[in-house]
Amino acid sequence: MASPAPLEIVAIPAFADNYLWLVHDPASGETAVVDPGDAGSVLAAAEARGWRIGQVWNTHWHPDHTGGNAAVVAATGAMLSAPAAEATRIANIDAPLKEGDTIRIGEHVGQVWEVPGHTLGHVALIFADAGVAFVGDTMFAMGCGRLFEGSPEQMHASLQRLAALPGDTALYCAHEYTLANARFAAHAFPADAAIADRLATVAAMREAGQATVPTSVALERATNPFLRAASVEQFAQLRTAKDRF
């Protein structure tokens, strides 16, 4: 059986540093949007491409990820899929998502992983066939989300789980935080050549106005300081240090 055609994934910048992701399956013509904090920008981007949004996927409840849900659904009739554990924080969920569920766009099937830490109900959407994962605010390029609701134990486990994906998996996170994260990584691991090299690369990319995401699992294994933590205690120390950096 032939593999499905590759997904087209487009970054829509929003607010100060968010990325909202349009996901288009050219074979079926279906389009989804991941974490539409701002409805106007994603609707305009889809219209410009001749795409009609049929699905909204939320990774967690924070307003910069869900604020445009209602307007997108009203404009398109899209179905809303969002974490079941956050149903009290996200209105009008059509498909509550929990561990082990699947999500589809065309012939592509994604697995729902619960990855708590940033929020308690945070999910990631793993499309193994396409080699992509939408990880919201759990893992960033060279970083991870703040522990607003979850524990160090939860976030450490969530990060290690994502890091065990194939190295060529593209990680689509929701913020352009890479330069700040790289500066912290270089501070935490000052003798690490791979981190120093990536800091220089990221600084040049941002100076040129280029996006630094998606990233890859392999690149994060090599340079993400939070994946260096050999224990929950070490992770917690790093996260506290980053919060104060």
CATH of the domain at 28: 3.60.15.10
Interval 103-124 mean pLDDT: 98
pLDDT tens-digit map of 187-236: 999 999 999 999 999 999 999 999 999 999 999 999 999 999 999 999 99
Cα(69)–Cα(9) distance, integer angstroms: 19
Q: What's the pLDDT at 3?
A: 73
Catalytic residue list: 60, 62, 64-65, 118, 137, 175
Beta-strand (E) ranges in the chain? Answer: 8-14, 18-25, 30-34, 53-57, 79-83, 95-97, 102-105, 108-114, 123-127, 132-136, 139-140, 143-144, 170-173, 215-216
Domain that holds residue 149: 8-244
In a domain, 238, yes or no: yes
In a domain, 3, yes or no: no
Residue 106 in domain: yes
What is the tens place of the pLDDT at every residue in 150-170? Answer: 999 999 999 999 999 999 999
Domain membership flag for residue 172:
yes
Q: What are phi and psi of 191, to 5 degrees?
A: -95, 5
Please determine, for residue 15, whether its predicted confidence score (pLDDT) is greater than 70: yes
Q: Count of domains in the chain?
A: 1
For 31-75, how does the pLDDT look when each residue is reduced to its tens digit (9 = 90+)?
999 999 999 999 999 999 999 999 999 999 999 999 999 999 999
Residue 215 covered by a domain: yes
Is 2 among the domain residues? no
pTM: 0.97
127 DSSP β-pair partners: 132
Bridge partners, residue 200, by sequence: none
